[in-house]
Chains A and B, each alone.
Chain A
Amino acid sequence: MLFHQLKFLLRFNARQNWLSSIIWALAIVGVTVVVAGAFVSLFGSEQERDTMAQTLENPAMVAMVGPVYGIDNYTTGAMMANQMLLFTAIVLGIMSILMITKLTRKQEEEGKFELIRSMPVGRLSSLSSALIVVALVNLIIGLITSIGLILINVESIDVEGSIMYGAVLAVTGLMFTGITAVITQLTETSRGAIGLSIAVLLLAYFVRAIGDVSSEALSLLSPLGLILRTEVYVENIWWPIIVSVVIALVFTVLAFYLHNRRDLGAGLLPSKPGKKEASKLLLSPLGLILRLQRTQIISWLVAMLFFGASYGSVLGDLESFFADNEMFQQLLGDNSEYTMTEQFMMMLMVILSIFATIPMVISFLRVRGEEKKERNDHLLTTGISRYKLLSYYLGVSVVIGAVSLFIALYGLWAAGAAVMDDPIPLENILKAGMSYVPAMLIVLALANLLFAFLPKWTSLVWAYLVFSFFTVYLGGMIDIPEWLANISSFNHIPQIPVEAFTWTPLVVLLVIGLVALIASQFGYRNRDEIG
């Protein structure tokens, strides 16, 4: 009777999960199909694709996206599998990790499992219903992706390859479903389970990265290395899929075995006792705010370095690549005075600064999150003024934004210097990049204003950032009216080296930002805390 009432729980879990499943599915399938379509139009000629293939053969790129297959006949399909498959598979992995933890550990933590377990249901029913639901979501996403790719109707994106493409996505999801199911038996909290599972995913990624560059055997040890050996759209090799299914099954069985052996609420890993007393660092409001964001800050800084370096690693091959690609030429605009690389750099600066704004805003928005959970009350009722509280969050986020941008620029320079014959001096890169800090501050100031005057709408700031990104990214291709583009603060920064550097716009942005920040202090001081 271990599986009693499984059917009922399945419906129950599916109901809890349907909305997020649809969002994940739409995002994954949508991006895949749109990118495949874009590749067809961006890299129409064989010559363009060959240049791209050469760029991707660079070891830095192989470490990042996996090995290039089918180099002698680099079709659109081969390109699609080369550039998109690994990352899409990782997204399914992350989705499975989050869903399994949400449906198992999280429920257990909140005592919902206990409630269900007290009813006449089998001991393994809860776990199996969660596994089945997540497995189905993975399979369905794989299936729709395959159908979507077939429907694009491109010669090199053939039926067998497309089915395989979807299958690779699905089995990656299944493997991480199984792995996470095991990990949720080990840890005591859902946070712990997510952390450990993501760590396994990252480890798999890095083992594959090293393996793809140096040793095939090492790559095969990683689930993510294994799935790339399918050579989708080139050779369509099926055995890695079968091995992946077996791996997923082994982990699933192991999860059931462990689940049956442990007590409800317990984890098999001994949870190590935490600190009995707070360290000195924690004993101030600022220390507390920093400590609460520690993991997040470190992850973002690593991500920014990685991000900058990944752009830097392609700088070496750019000239030849751009020379052949009309689409990119159009994207960058025509300016014969400057090299393509210089113009590309200019666009990179904007993109990197917009990305560096993300951790800055996330860090600041925590103040709203804490307010919603009524945890600001703890600080505000111990003699800390609202003025100070807001200033701490503001200060922390400004520093995070500036450091993120700096690290991304440093990564760009370091990787660029390694692959370019004539590297760009670090000083030039920093000068061009750091001049975007005032534009970033405007975004932060907007977040502040919303927080102070329309706290329930604070997250609207993301809309502004996304808007800024599109005006910059697509501005070259679509004709966006000047007044509309000017709403984005990033549009006002002098674009070195193509434009001359001038202080005026920077100072104007800084002054606007400062006024907004002062107004926000006033607004926050005079409003209620809204939980």
Chain B
Amino acid sequence: MNMIEVKGVTKKFGKFTALNGIDLEVKKGEVYGFIGPNGAGKSTTIRVLLGIIQATSGTAKIFGMDAWKDAVEIHRKVVYVPGDVHLWENLTGGEIIDTFLKLRGGINKTKRDALIERFQLDPRKKAGTYSKGNRQKVALIAAFASEADLFILDEPTSGLDPLMENIFQQCVEEVKYEGKSVLLSSHILSEVEKLCDRVGIIRQGEMIETGTLDELRHLTRTNIVIETEKSAATLSEQSGIHQFTEEDGVYSFQVDPENLSSVMLKVGELGVKRIESTPPTLEDLFMRHYETDSVAEKG
């Protein structure tokens, strides 16, 4: 059974279409990366899933139940961390963590205290004096200390420092190991690359790409750096080669997947002294979508 199943969800705010036929699936035990720029519709999708707002059309289901109608039932087993955590200024971090835990079922003090320690939060300070990162820590501690089957995290690390981000990644890996599922929306592509089994890219309210990272990589170019005995300048005329540059006899370029073998044959003729190939990063993938889109928009 899929933990999250979204089919053809559209959400309109007045005349503005925020989501246009979104499809999304998160399987059990999977970490799903949900990426896209600001305003693409990540948070709106998540808010539909949480039953905070209602989809205009389409179905959104969690644990096979309707996200809007059965919200209360679903939320007993779901944990949500928003990107911008708003807390009650006059309560302390510790008080808020306890309140959240109790609302979700019960307080596991060992787990809670261990997480407070790991995230290095001072729970005795009033939430009004916390920085953005500290407010996020409060929400993350309350999330990872509770018993849930599904974690919905909306850009949860945007205010954390690299050390804390590392702790966060460990926590996600731990819950994954326990067989729980995670929907992680993020800007930080290296984080998604490291943690996620599958990835979905959203742009202007539409899902433009979904699949495992490997599947997505097939769709994109490989980065190649070579040093050759003969000049490789002729390669630039070869079809399927992009962003060809040369510096001190070192050539770097990108190759479309369908031209890879023909390009390699050519390269072989030039007498290879050194060759490096790197798989496209998620960032390349992401940027490529946006580059082509902006070109298309200009054209």
Binary per-residue interface labels of chain B (30-69) against chain A in the complex, 1 for a CB within 8 Å, 0 otherwise: 0000000000000000010011111000000000000000
Listed residue (B52, B75, B104, B128) with the most chain A CB atoms within 10 angstroms of its CB: B52
Known: A377-B82, A382-B75, A383-B75. A275 touches B129 (CB 8 A): no
Q: Across the interface, name the chain A residue whose C-beta is closest to B127.
A: A274
From residue B57, how far is it (CB to closest CB) to chain A in Å? 14
Known: A274-B126, A285-B103. A381 touches B90 (CB 8 A): no
B76 surroundings in chain A (CB, below 8 A): 383
Task: Decide if B128 touches A189 in the complex (CB within 8 Å).
Answer: yes
A484 within 8 A of B: no
Task: Decide if B123 touches A276 in the complex (CB within 8 Å).
Answer: yes
Task: Decide if A275 touches B124 in the complex (CB within 8 Å).
Answer: yes
Binary per-residue interface labels of chain B (91-131) against chain A in the complex, 1 for a CB within 8 Å, 0 otherwise: 11011111110111000000000000000001111101100
Task: Decide if B125 touches A274 in the complex (CB within 8 Å).
Answer: yes
* Cα separation A163 to B102 with both chains bound (whole Å): 61
Task: Decide if B50 touches A381 in the complex (CB within 8 Å).
Answer: yes
A15 within 8 A of B: no
Task: Decide if A288 touches B99 in the complex (CB within 8 Å).
Answer: yes
The 8 Å CB contact of A380, one of B71, B73, B87, B125, is B71
* Cα separation A378 to B85 with both chains bound (whole Å): 9
From residue A196, how far is it (CB to closest CB) to chain B in Å? 14
Q: Across the interface, name the chain B residue whose C-beta is closest to A377.
A: B52
Task: Decide if B103 touches A379 in the complex (CB within 8 Å).
Answer: yes
A277 surroundings in chain B (CB, below 8 A): 94-95, 98, 123
* Cα separation A77 to B78 with both chains bound (whole Å): 68
Known: A189-B128, A283-B102, A373-B86. A275 touches B53 (CB 8 A): no
B88 within 8 A of A: yes
B89 within 8 A of A: yes
The 8 Å CB contact of A191, one of B71, B89, B96, is B89
From residue B88, how far is it (CB to closest CB) to chain A in Å? 6
* Cα separation A276 to B141 with both chains bound (whole Å): 14
* Cα separation A200 to B129 with both chains bound (whole Å): 23
The 8 Å CB contact of A385, one of B54, B72, B89, B94, is B72
Task: Decide if B128 touches A191 in the complex (CB within 8 Å).
Answer: yes
From residue A373, how far is it (CB to closest CB) to chain B in Å? 5
B144 within 8 A of A: no
A109 surroundings in chain B (CB, below 8 A): 128-129
* Cα separation A277 to B96 with both chains bound (whole Å): 8
Interface range, B side: 35 or more
Known: A189-B126, A375-B88, A529-B52. A382 touches B100 (CB 8 A): yes
Task: Decide if B125 touches A528 in the complex (CB within 8 Å).
Answer: no
* Cα separation A382 to B82 with both chains bound (whole Å): 13
A384 surroundings in chain B (CB, below 8 A): 72, 75, 103
A456 within 8 A of B: no
A528 surroundings in chain B (CB, below 8 A): 52-54
Task: Decide if B99 touches A283 in the complex (CB within 8 Å).
Answer: yes
List residues of A (245-286) whose CB comes within 8 Å of B's CBs: 271, 273-279, 282-285
- How many chain A residues touch B (Cβ–Cβ < 8 Å)? 35
From residue A280, how far is it (CB to closest CB) to chain B in Å? 9
Binary per-residue interface labels of chain A (385-416) against chain B in the complex, 1 for a CB within 8 Å, 0 otherwise: 10000000000000000000000000000000
Task: Decide if B88 touches A278 in the complex (CB within 8 Å).
Answer: no
From residue A227, how far is it (CB to closest CB) to chain B in Å? 33
Task: Decide if B82 touches A276 in the complex (CB within 8 Å).
Answer: no
Task: Decide if B104 touches A382 in the complex (CB within 8 Å).
Answer: yes
A285 surroundings in chain B (CB, below 8 A): 103
A188 surroundings in chain B (CB, below 8 A): 129
A303 within 8 A of B: no
From residue A296, how far is it (CB to closest CB) to chain B in Å? 11
A278 surroundings in chain B (CB, below 8 A): 91, 94-99, 102
A274 surroundings in chain B (CB, below 8 A): 91-92, 94-95, 124-126
Listed residue (B72, B82, B89) with the most chain A CB atoms within 10 angstroms of its CB: B72
* Cα separation A279 to B129 with both chains bound (whole Å): 21
B251 within 8 A of A: no
A292 within 8 A of B: yes
A374 within 8 A of B: yes
Task: Decide if A284 touches B75 in the complex (CB within 8 Å).
Answer: no
A291 within 8 A of B: yes
A374 surroundings in chain B (CB, below 8 A): 82, 84, 86
* Cα separation A124 to B170 with both chains bound (whole Å): 46
* Cα separation A529 to B125 with both chains bound (whole Å): 29
B80 within 8 A of A: yes
* Cα separation A277 to B89 with both chains bound (whole Å): 16
A382 surroundings in chain B (CB, below 8 A): 75, 100, 103-104
The 8 Å CB contact of B78, one of A292, A378, A381, A529, is A381
A273 surroundings in chain B (CB, below 8 A): 122, 124-125
* Cα separation A278 to B125 with both chains bound (whole Å): 13
Q: Across the interface, name the chain B residue whose C-beta is closest to A294.
A: B90
* Cα separation A292 to B128 with both chains bound (whole Å): 13
From residue B93, how far is it (CB to closest CB) to chain A in Å? 8
Task: Decide if A275 touches B75 in the complex (CB within 8 Å).
Answer: no
Q: Across the interface, name the chain A residue whose C-beta is closest to B124.
A: A273
Task: Decide if A381 touches B98 in the complex (CB within 8 Å).
Answer: no
* Cα separation A377 to B53 with both chains bound (whole Å): 11
From residue B287, how far is it (CB to closest CB) to chain A in Å? 31
From residue B125, how far is it (CB to closest CB) to chain A in Å? 6
Known: A274-B92, A275-B92, A292-B90. A383 touches B98 (CB 8 A): no
* Cα separation A276 to B73 with both chains bound (whole Å): 30
B72 surroundings in chain A (CB, below 8 A): 383-385
* Cα separation A277 to B52 with both chains bound (whole Å): 29
B102 surroundings in chain A (CB, below 8 A): 278, 283-284
A288 surroundings in chain B (CB, below 8 A): 99
From residue B14, how far is it (CB to closest CB) to chain A in Å? 12
Task: Decide if B90 touches A191 in the complex (CB within 8 Å).
Answer: yes
Query: Sorted from nearest, which 7 A-B pairs have the closest CB atoms?
Result: A278-B98, A274-B92, A273-B124, A528-B53, A382-B103, A283-B102, A278-B95
Besides A288-B99, A291-B91, A383-B72, 14 more A-B contacts (Cβ < 8 Å) are A189-B128, A191-B128, A273-B125, A274-B125, A274-B126, A275-B94, A275-B124, A375-B86, A379-B103, A380-B50, A380-B52, A381-B50, A384-B75, A527-B54
Q: Using a CB–CB distance below 8 Å, which chain B residues touch chain A?
A: 47, 50-54, 71-73, 75-76, 78, 80, 82, 84, 86-92, 94-100, 102-104, 122-126, 128-129
Q: List 24 A-B contacts (CB under 8 A).
A: A273-B125, A274-B124, A275-B124, A278-B95, A282-B99, A283-B102, A285-B103, A288-B99, A374-B84, A374-B86, A375-B88, A377-B50, A380-B52, A381-B75, A382-B75, A382-B103, A383-B73, A383-B103, A383-B104, A385-B71, A528-B52, A528-B54, A529-B52, A529-B53
